[in-house]
Amino acid sequence: MVNALLPLDNFVVINKTILNTQDRLTLTLLYQPIVGSIAVSLYLTLWSFLDRNKFNSLGNTHNDLAISMQLKLDDIKEAKDKLEAIGLIKTYLKKGEVNSYIYELYGPLSAYDFFNNPILDTALYNNLSKKEYKRIVDSFSLPKVDLKGYQDISCSFKDVYNFVSTEKLENNNIKRAKHLGLSFEPSINFNEVLSLIPEELLNIRSISKDTKELIYELAFIYNLENEAISEIIKNSLIDRKIDINLLKENCRSFYKFEHKGKIPKIVYQNQPLYLRQDQVNNTKRSKLINQFETTSPYEFLSLKQESKPTEKDMEIIEYLMIEQKLNPGVVNVLLDYVLKINNNKLVRKFVEQIAVQWKRSKIETVSDAIDFAKAEYGKKNPKTSKKVEAVPSWFNQDIESDMLSDEELEAFEKELGR
């Protein structure tokens, strides 16, 4: 991962697409509920640098950008990451005494392509109320016109135009609208999925590149494994071909059945950059804090339990991040704290009580969460409160083993009496 942006780092903006006023509407109504207003503001600001020169901007520094947007560079870095992840910009870096960046701007998808992208459509749906989602869909929908009684009398091309012989000019470098796809790691093995479907049911040659990409996306959204997605595909076949709409509907129905009517929610995975510690040093506490900050709650529980989180575990994570709006790093501390003081059990009501207390206490950083948990542990165990170390004794050492040297880990475990 690239280091934090520095004030004197310079950058230029390259326009890789065609941007118009309709794109502004799409960014505001469709992308902003997912990436947030700061990320959209950053995109529009970078876009504004192109006003004097439509293809690329003049050189600027990130300090200029921070002053222009009245934001900290950490906030800009986080917003940039979100724009990269959703396919609106691509970043290139040339390191030196002063780092140089190139930001390539790509256009937002059209409303049609956006709503037909299962990842983006699901993300939008889960960040809005049903009423607001329907209102936005309706605003991009074409009105239905009753053509009954009308006759199409439009001229065809050959009715009006004719060709004459002339020399053809090269036009291979004409500017056009360009979009980036979403980048994510496939969660399934496509060949294995196909091997689970009998050839007499599915014509493999009928699967297009777009259909294959859709299957990857649906498996990613609904957290489906090879066996599950193969069964869904079997139930989505018509005349030995995959019916795209039926496939989407069946994936959604399968997920809702498995999760008691709920649909997947998309949340920011790791602790926001502006709420992380300024720098990571060689102290044990700093390294442990960094691990809490750079691990998602899902990954944290997976490492903690050495297995995938259960459905109930995921409901608790969703509650903490979506309903209580606790930051991911804080959620990690809370989960580890609860597991340590509650005999490795995550009980929903118990977690909720602690979460409400932490939310009221306005805990936003990992460091504050550790200190708060340590203080609460001391209150409940006054006899041992004086023995509580700067790094909480309830922290799980296993997930930090790749960050500490063998000597440090051995000494630390000995210190905790393990």
Asked whether residue 70 is assigned to any structural domain, the reply reads: yes
Per-residue model confidence (pLDDT) at position 304: 82
Single residue among 225, 258, 291 that ends a domain in this structure: 258
Judge if 225 and 311 occupy the same domain.
no
Per-residue model confidence (pLDDT) at position 401: 34
> For strand 60-61 and strand 241-242, is the pairing parallel, antiparallel, or unpaired?
unpaired
Amino acid identity of residue 74, one-letter, is D
Q: Name the nearest CA neighbour of 288 among 403, 416, 372.
A: 403
Distances, alpha carbon 409 to alpha carbons 121, 340, 361, 405, in Å: 45, 19, 32, 6
Single residue among 109, 128, 157 that ends a domain in this structure: 109
Going residue by residue through the chain, which has 418 residues, state the pLDDT in tens, using 9 for 90 and above: 446 788 999 998 988 887 788 888 999 999 998 888 899 999 999 988 876 556 667 778 999 899 989 988 888 988 998 999 899 999 999 998 889 999 999 999 989 889 888 888 888 887 787 888 899 999 888 888 888 899 988 888 777 877 665 565 555 555 555 666 666 667 789 999 999 999 899 998 899 988 998 898 888 888 888 999 999 999 999 999 999 889 988 988 888 888 777 777 666 567 766 677 766 677 888 888 888 888 888 888 888 877 778 878 888 887 888 778 888 889 999 998 988 888 888 888 889 999 999 999 989 899 999 988 888 877 766 655 444 443 344 344 433 333 344 454 454 444 433 3
d(CA 145, CA 395): 64
Judge if 281 and 401 occupy the same domain.
yes
Distances, alpha carbon 100 to alpha carbons 10, 60, 69, 71, 83, in Å: 5, 10, 20, 20, 19
d(CA 325, CA 313): 17
Asked whether residue 114 is assigned to any structural domain, the reply reads: no
d(CA 137, CA 291): 40
pTM here?
A: 0.60
d(CA 106, CA 87): 7
3-state secondary structure of 10: strand
Judge if 277 and 409 occupy the same domain.
yes
Q: Which residues lie closer than 8 Å to 312 by C-beta, 6 or more apart?
A: 346, 348
d(CA 206, CA 48): 44
Structural domain count, the chain: 3
Q: How far is CA 46 from the centre of its chain?
A: 21
Distances, alpha carbon 295 to alpha carbons 78, 228, 333, 340, 357, in Å: 16, 27, 11, 19, 23
Per-residue model confidence (pLDDT) at position 196: 92
- Residues 394 and 341: beta-carbon distance below 8 Å: yes
For 176-238, the DSSP string reads ----PPPP---SS-HHHHHHTS-TTT--GGG--HHHHHHHHHHHHHTT--HHHHHHHHHTTEE
User: Which two tokens mark 233?
Assistant: 């595909």
Asked whether residue 214 is assigned to any structural domain, the reply reads: yes
- Which residues make beta-bridge pairs with 242? 237
- Residues 119 and 34: beta-carbon distance below 8 Å: no
Per-residue model confidence (pLDDT) at position 322: 72
Asked whether residue 3 is assigned to any structural domain, the reply reads: no
Single residue among 90, 109, 128 that ends a domain in this structure: 109
Judge if 307 and 401 occupy the same domain.
yes
Judge if 240 and 313 occupy the same domain.
no
H/E segment holding residue 94: strand 89-94
Asked whether residue 88 is assigned to any structural domain, the reply reads: yes
Per-residue model confidence (pLDDT) at position 136: 92
Burial class (CB in 10 A: 0-12, 13-18, 19+), 162: exposed
Judge if 281 and 410 occupy the same domain.
yes
Asked whether residue 245 is assigned to any structural domain, the reply reads: yes
Q: Tokens 């700093």 identify what position?
A: 286
3-state secondary structure of 172: coil
3-state secondary structure of 259: coil
Per-residue model confidence (pLDDT) at position 249: 87
Judge if 281 and 204 occupy the same domain.
no
Judge if 408 and 293 occupy the same domain.
yes
Length of the chain: 418
Asked whether residue 120 is assigned to any structural domain, the reply reads: no
Judge if 308 and 237 occupy the same domain.
no
- CATH code (residue 30): 1.10.10.10
Per-residue model confidence (pLDDT) at position 179: 62
Per-residue model confidence (pLDDT) at position 317: 86
Per-residue model confidence (pLDDT) at position 62: 92
d(CA 279, CA 285): 12
Judge if 224 and 330 occupy the same domain.
no
DSSP structural state of residue 385:
G
Asked whether residue 196 is assigned to any structural domain, the reply reads: yes
Range of the domain at 251: 190-258
Judge if 298 and 253 occupy the same domain.
no
Q: Tokens 């930051």 identify what position?
A: 327
Amino acid identity of residue 166, one-letter, is T
Judge if 410 and 294 occupy the same domain.
yes
Q: Name the nearest CA neighbour of 179 among 82, 93, 81, 105.
A: 105
User: Which two tokens mark 244?
Assistant: 């795209």
Q: Name the nearest CA neighbour of 6 among 103, 72, 68, 85.
A: 72
